Structure 1
Amino acid sequence: MAVGKGPGAARRRGMAGFYRRMDRPVRRVLPRSLLGRMLLIVLIPLLVTQGISLELFYGNYLKVVSRRMSGSVSADIVLTLDLLKRYESPEDRAWIMNQVRARTQLDMDWEPGQHLSRTGSTHVLGPMDDDLADALNNSIGRPYHVDWIDDPQTVHIHIQMPDGVLDVRTPRKRLSVAPIWLFVAWAVGSTLLLFVIASLFMRNQIRAIRRLARAAELFGLGRDIGPICPEGAQEVRKAAVAFNRMQERIFRFVAQRTAVLAGVSHDLRTPLTRLRLSLAMIPPQGTIDAAQFHAEVTDMVADVAEMEGMIESYLSFARGEGAETPVAVDVGQMLDEVASAFRRAGGSILSVSVPQPVEAVLRPGAIRRVLDNLLQNARRHDARVALSAGRDERGVVICVDDDGPGIPRDRMESVFRPFESGQNGGTGLGLTIARDIVRAHGGDIALRQSRRGGLQVRIVLPA
């Protein structure tokens, strides 16, 4: 049988078509706002739960109790009829009526020679009218009429006897546990109370989500609204904190790009000026010897190479490393590979220390580039380097220590600015690119004094 054919596939297609047909009418009925849908999610289970409890209580407990109470009243009436049938004298009947009235709460009167004008029962809400009618039919077997309406406190039962009518008045409380509307009112009231409480709590949660959506909308329009205050449920707070971090990273990213553009436009003027001066100082053709011409060309080529290096560094910084996919990386193995490559390039590695296996999800090419920039900076100052990695409460920590001249404390932050660290060789974008890559991973990079006498670069990456 071909794939996608047969009764099973046809049934699935039929169900999918049914769901598609039902989806649009359901969406028309459902509220569109998140608050409305959350309240509907709360209200429907409440109504279903209260409905089930009402049915269980009303359909079982009340019916059982009603049958037993109706059977009790019917048994008292049957017992009274049996006594009246056995003792027919007026004195005995009067004594029986007094005893029944005193001991069973049934008020009975004998109406000799009377006949019922109607039979049956005037129905009321609840199972007790049917239960009482069934009990009278099963136990008495004579015509009767039950009046539930005439007196709100008493139920009148008229029983046709051969020589008259027996009028029985029983208190309603002997046939009814409690008005059913009390239970219904309690169920509805508790549902409304819980619904109102849930509405108040949910409005607070939705208010935090709306504030976050408003902040995101304003931020998308380019307005600096500042960090928003995290509030609401834990998930909403986490979303607000993540939004604040994202906003901070984007502002920092824009500021770095703006600073780099300003720095490139400024620093390119120097080699361009030298080129312009070199071209202006070249003597007319025929008045310059080959050696002088070669020296002038060499200087101009060096200026062009310097410009190419600046532009390439800026392009690398502008491109970033966002296209690389983060993967799980063994940090110790990566440090060994970086150290081996640095040794082959002529650098000096003192040690690579990773006491225990360390794994992190990162962009390996980007982090290797960060480490290579740091190692090349140390090599430029003829320093030896020690690499180490470990974990702390913030995540994975990678340290690059050297024994070089170091950096003054008051410049440890400023060297991350574009072109700030280019006075001692290089383009001045290495540390800027390194911080940009590390922060793109959600981490941070900082400088401090090394125990080896030089500089320590501390990289913290989320685990």
Structure 2
Amino acid sequence: MDPSLALLAQLFDSLPLGVVVLDAAGRVIIYNRAEEALANRQRARVVGRDFFVEVAPCMNVSRLAGEFRKNIGRRPLDVDLEFSFPFMSLDEPRDVRLKLSSFDVAAASYGVLMVEDISAKRSVERMKETLQDLLIHDLKNPLSAILANLGYLDRIRGIRDNHDAVEAISDSVQAARRLQAMLLNLLDISRLETNSLPLARDLVDLDAMLAAAVEENAALARMHGSALALGPACGLRASVDPAVLRRALGNLIENAVRHAPHVTVAGRRERGAVVLEVVDDGPGVPAGMRDTIFEKYTQVQADGRATAAYNRGLGLTFVRLAAHAHGGDASVDCPAGGGSVFRIALPAPAP
């Protein structure tokens, strides 16, 4: 073995994840201790054998064989997969992450497979998703009852004549609807992440949708002392799920009115795309946070630092996933003069 490879073999033996190094023909030349333990195979029985044919011929790993044989020595390899792997020594398959990359030593090309057992992590995630679904289901019914009873109180004449009572009911309805939106975000984020939320697409008048979103959030804007306005008509239509897209717009508007004194909602066409914008004159989003802010449970504090919160920070995650489900994307820019421009870009319908 080349001295450089021998040094690598010693280094790989100290790693906590499985490492398999292959020569250009796909034969195993390094098989570290962690992979021995994970696969329950001694390296002496594996080294020198064709990894894709003799060592791990299962369907999931075989998908890498073509990529390896086609590109090794020609272009860098970079493949990252997660799947359930049936280890022969275990009663049940394990969830693994497999990363295939490549390197060169002394003009020879080699492939390296990093194998990580993520079964415990996936098990915890599945438990969290199950608990989340149960909580959402259990909270939806009492919340619907709260809204129904508030609506009943609002229709009682004696209460309608009391300004303070009417205002209190209105505030309670808005709070209950925001809680309802949070629950729907939690539920539908999970569905969007697994592509299990079917979109009920229709050709929608975007001016009407933007106007409805502004009207729905007018009370919330007043509560936060923010002036919410509708921009010029765009005259555009798009094939979207109106319920999903209005919720995404609502999330952007709610986020803006909480942080800015003036917010404008508008639509326009831009290079073959339909763009919906929520523009504010708030503190803006730091450059390093403009992508991270769309991740789960991430919020930006007034000083620009990112924080993780357990029960908040899902609104923008839903916005981006909803945009992706429609074949588009969500982003944020901050002009030099201050403020933020949150955008949902969607494919424009064929003329």
Normalised to the residue count of structure 1, the TM-score between the two structures is 0.33
Higher normalized helix content (fraction of residues):
1
Normalised to the residue count of structure 2, the TM-score between the two structures is 0.43
